[in-house]
Amino acid sequence: MKKPIAWILDSTGFVTEEFKAHPDVYMVPLNIHFGQEEFIDDGVDLTNKELYARIKSSAEFPKTSQPSAGKFAELYEKLKEEYECAIAVHASAKLSGTIASSTAAAEMTSFKVYAIDSLALSYGLSGLIDRGLVLQKQGMEAEEIAERLQKEVHDLRNYILIGNLSQLYKGGRMSGAQYYIGSLLKVKPIVQLSAEGELVPIDKVRSHKKAVQYLLDRVKEDHEKYGTDTFQIMHGNVLDEAESLKQDILKIVPGAKILVGDLSSSLAVHAGEGTIALLWRKPPQN
């Protein structure tokens, strides 16, 4: 008898230890390119520590590319022998073509895949899979789970302190004028993924302290309004800063559940070393 649901995410998502150990969760990696050299974003082929070292020493700016439809098809051919269907949660279609590769592969292999545009990155993907696994345990069928998750993508709150304006600019995520002004004034942009899944600036501050206070104010607002008590902090090789932010949040929400993790290499390429992202979801209504 086939198992009911395979769960898929791409490597822009945060792969938790639970996901690594879960027999039904699969990760399809993006690719990272340094000139003619290509690495798989699986945390093994190129670790984050190696990535940051390469960025500092390389004359060429690294690039990322989505997994091919063929790569997804290899996985789906295997999964259709073991599972009735799959739910695949992918990076925002406005930032990556990964979901297009995934859906093309599903058609190629005639495997039923419910592909969800998370409109997000990092734990924005992972949190949806966590939620889906809970709904599956409650007995919900795959199609209904997929419909519920697609609605709940809009419950994500995310705030990102960019660590390296130069990388964001070179990666095509910031205009030349924005980069020049930001560098000149030493502005720290706070950006977020919008309701349409686009990376947009929401505020600019002149110090790291003020940027952190901005995040804490948003935490307090949602905790008071919705009772939010679960948060995720993703960082670009600045664990000390991430842990400091965690302690600040605990002063506002004592007993909060806070996960701290690394940005994946495919995100670190664009956001840069020193980036801090704070994410949470508005609690589901049922």
> What is the model's pLDDT at position 180?
37
Domain ranges (residues) in the chain? 3-154, 156-281
Arithmetic mean of pLDDT over the chain = 88
Interatomic CA distance for residues 15 and 218, integer angstroms: 26
Q: What are the pLDDT digits (tens) for 79-91?
A: 999 999 999 999 9
DSSP state of 112: -
What are the two backbone dihedrals, phi and then psi, of residue 56, each rounded to the nearest 5 degrees? -70, -30
Structure tokens of 102? 């995934």
- Match 């898929």 to its residue by tokens: 8
Interatomic CA distance for residues 262 and 200, integer angstroms: 22
Whether 246 contacts 278, CB under 8 Å: no
Question: Side by side, which strands form the sheet with 25-28?
Answer: 25-28, 3-10, 83-90, 113-117
Work out the number of other CB atoms within 10 angstroms of the CB of residue 273. 18
Q: Residue 106: pLDDT band by 50, 70, 90 thresholds?
A: very high
Q: What is the chain's Cα-based Rg?
A: 19
Q: Could you write out the DSSP letters of every residue in 165-191?
A: HHHHHHTTSS-HHHHHHHHHHT-EEEE
Helix, strand, coil shares of the chain, percent, nearest 5, are 45, 25, 30
What is the biggest distance separating any 2 CA atoms in the chain, rounded to whole angstroms?
63
Interatomic CA distance for residues 282 and 145, integer angstroms: 18
What are the two backbone dihedrals, phi and then psi, of residue 266, each rounded to the nearest 5 degrees? -65, -25
Q: Specify whether domain 156-281 bears CATH 3.30.1180.10.
A: yes
> What is the model's pLDDT at position 46?
83
Looking at the DSSP bridge assignments, the partners of residue 278 are 159, 233
Mean pLDDT of 207-226: 93
Specify the range with the lowest mean pLDDT, choosing from 101-115, 181-195, 199-213, 257-271.
181-195
**Strands 37-40, 31-34: parallel, antiparallel or unpaired by DSSP?**
antiparallel
Q: Residue 175: pLDDT band by 50, 70, 90 thresholds?
A: very low
Q: What are the pLDDT digits (tens) for 115-157?
A: 999 999 999 999 999 999 999 999 999 999 999 999 999 999 9
Work out the number of other CB atoms within 10 angstroms of the CB of residue 43. 16
The 3-state DSSP class for residue 126 equals helix
Angle, alpha carbons 112-116-121 (nearest 5°): 140
Q: Residue 7: pLDDT band by 50, 70, 90 thresholds?
A: very high
Whether 281 contacts 226, CB under 8 Å: no
Element (H, E) at 157: strand 156-161
Q: What are the pLDDT digits (tens) for 255-279?
A: 999 999 999 888 888 777 889 999 9
> What is the model's pLDDT at position 173?
44
- Best CA proximity match to 266, nearest among 75, 19, 88, 97: 97
> What is the model's pLDDT at position 90?
97
Whether 260 contacts 185, CB under 8 Å: no
Q: Which CATH number fits domain 3-154: 3.40.50.1360, 3.90.110.10, 3.30.70.2190, 3.40.50.10170?
A: 3.40.50.10170
